[in-house]
């Protein structure tokens, strides 16, 4: 590659998100690589904030980039690639949470009576041991449970704004709502948590 060609390639990669989206749609895979580079850290932070598990978050982010690449032609506003991608990450994270909750519920099922002895002999990995049910460990468990129980929008707003420290305007873009709605979701979520945890604090 000549020096001039290399400079042109760098110039293209330094372009706007909209330009990178257009180049990707024309078949320039290096342009999508640049979009991945720009948003991988933020996407991972959002996924981890909603899942609290690094492995799950990494899988969700990978799935989100695959999905965004596959559906890139449906993006009506290429300049909004970032918020669009992070909305995909958020939705996939919530789906993963629901799937995880279902698996946990199934693991607590008594199952076939014929397996009774084996089930009784095998400790439940999800059960809270007596020594864990005190102090900070208990409070953390209760807090996580109450956050999980919040309505989806309130939970997302709380995690993204209060835990991940994203700006309200950015959270509004991710949740496809107004900044005022974000403030209300966060306020409501905090109030619910305070009411639920008042006896623990």
Closest CA to 67 of 49, 79, 50, 85: 85
pLDDT tens-digit readout, 135-189: 667 777 778 788 878 888 888 888 888 877 788 888 888 888 899 999 999 999 9
Cα 191 to chain centroid, rounded: 23
Question: Sorting pLDDT into bands at 50, 70 and 90, what band is 36?
Answer: very high
pLDDT tens-digit readout, 96-149: 887 766 666 555 454 444 444 444 445 555 444 554 444 667 777 778 788 878
Rounded to whole angstroms, the Cα distance separating 87 from 126 reads 30
Q: What is the pTM of this model?
A: 0.61
> Measured on CA atoms in the order 142, 140, 92, 72, is the torsion positive or negative?
positive
Q: Supply the pLDDT for residue 145.
A: 81
Residue 66 has pLDDT above 90, yes or no: yes
Domains annotated on the chain, with CATH? 1-98 (1.10.1740.10), 131-201 (1.10.10.10)
Q: Supply the pLDDT for residue 143.
A: 81
In three state form, how does the secondary structure of the chain look?
Answer: CCHHHHHHHHHHHCCCHHHHHHHHHCCCHHHHHHHHHHHHHHHHHHHHHHHCCHHHHHHHHHHHHHHHHHCHHHCCCHHHHHHHHHHHHHHHHHHHHHHHHHHHHHHCCCCCHHHHHHHHHCCCCCCCCHHHCCHHHHHHHHHHHHHHHCCHHHHHHHHHHHHCCCCHHHHHHHHCCCHHHHHHHHHHHHHHHHHHHCCCC
Closest CA to 185 of 154, 144, 148, 146: 154
In the block, tokens 């209300």 appear at: 184
Rounded to whole angstroms, the Cα distance separating 95 from 89 reads 10
């Amino acid at each position: 590659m000549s020096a001039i060609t290399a400079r042109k390639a760098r110039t293209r990669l330094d372009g706007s998100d909209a330009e990178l989206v257009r180049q990707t749609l024309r078949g320039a895979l290096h342009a999508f690589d640049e979009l991945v580079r720009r948003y991988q850290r933020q996407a991972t932070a959002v996924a981890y904030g909603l899942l609290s598990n690094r492995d799950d978050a990494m899988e969700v982010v990978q799935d989100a980039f695959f999905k965004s690449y596959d559906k890139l032609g449906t993006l009506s506003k290429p300049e909004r690639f970032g918020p669009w991608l992070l909305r995909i990450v958020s939705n996939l994270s919530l789906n993963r949470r629901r799937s995880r909750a279902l698996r946990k519920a199934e693991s607590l099922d008594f199952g076939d009576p014929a397996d009774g002895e084996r089930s009784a002999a095998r400790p439940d990995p999800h059960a809270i041991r007596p020594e864990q049910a005190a102090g900070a460990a208990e409070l953390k468990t209760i807090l996580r449970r109450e956050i999980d129980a919040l309505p989806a929008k309130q939970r997302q707003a709380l995690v993204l704004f209060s835990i991940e420290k994203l700006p309200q305007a950015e959270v509004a873009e991710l949740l496809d709502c107004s900044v005022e709605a974000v403030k209300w979701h966060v306020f409501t979520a905090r109030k619910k948590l305070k009411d639920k945890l008042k006896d623990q604090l």
